Amino acid sequence: MPAKANVIELEQDLAFQKREWRVNLLTWFALLVMMAACVLGLFGHGPLSSAEVSEPSSFFRVEYERFLRYGSASRLRIHARADATGSLRLSLGQTMVERFELRGITPGPDTAEAGPNGIEYRFAGAPGADVVIEIDVVPIARGSVHARLGSADSELAFRQFVYP
């Protein structure tokens, strides 16, 4: 006589199993969306983060990142034109001074003067020459930042978001 095999009978809950599959699928989809957002720059460097604001009439333009991380370095690239005397005046608004640590300015300014509305830098150059200034900053505050940069005859405002 053949031996009887040990058989374990398990109950199946197909409704629960289908819910589990749906949750699993949604989780994988959410992970893929988050990875795509990271690659595209939603949380830092990338095409979604890169931005530019400009004032064409005065040749004043700022390239910046929309999304920053707290404590992580970022760079502002400012394109401006020196006046007829070869001088270029650049002002950083008070919000920039309070919410960012300035790590470096290239080329270095000739003078810097602090005031109630921020800091004003003066650069020397050739009369009417196009100048590119790079400012290395590190966010020291989290959340939305409404930044302002000004030159002799115009001011640009832009927003950045600093993730914790």
Tens-place pLDDT, residues 45-76: 778 788 899 887 778 899 999 999 898 999 99
Q: How high is the pLDDT of residue 134?
A: 94
- What integer pLDDT is reported at residue 76 of this predicted model? 93
Average pLDDT, the chain: 86
Q: Which of the two residues, 46 and 123, has the higher pLDDT score?
A: 123
Would you state the pLDDT for residue 82?
84
pLDDT(83) > 60: yes
Give the model's pLDDT for residue 3. 64
Confidence of residue 1 (pLDDT cuts 50, 70, 90): low
What pLDDT is recorded for position 137? 93
Which residues neighbour 48 within 8 Å (Cβ) at sequence distance 6 or greater? 37, 40, 41, 42, 66, 67
In this prediction, residue 151 carries a pLDDT of 78
Question: Among 78, 101, 87, 93, which Cα is nearest to 148's?
Answer: 93
Residue 127: is the preceding peptide bond cis (ω within 30°)?
A: no
Q: Higher-confidence residue: 67 or 86?
A: 67
pLDDT of residue 43: 74
Mean pLDDT of 74-97: 88
Residue 3 is classified by DSSP as: P
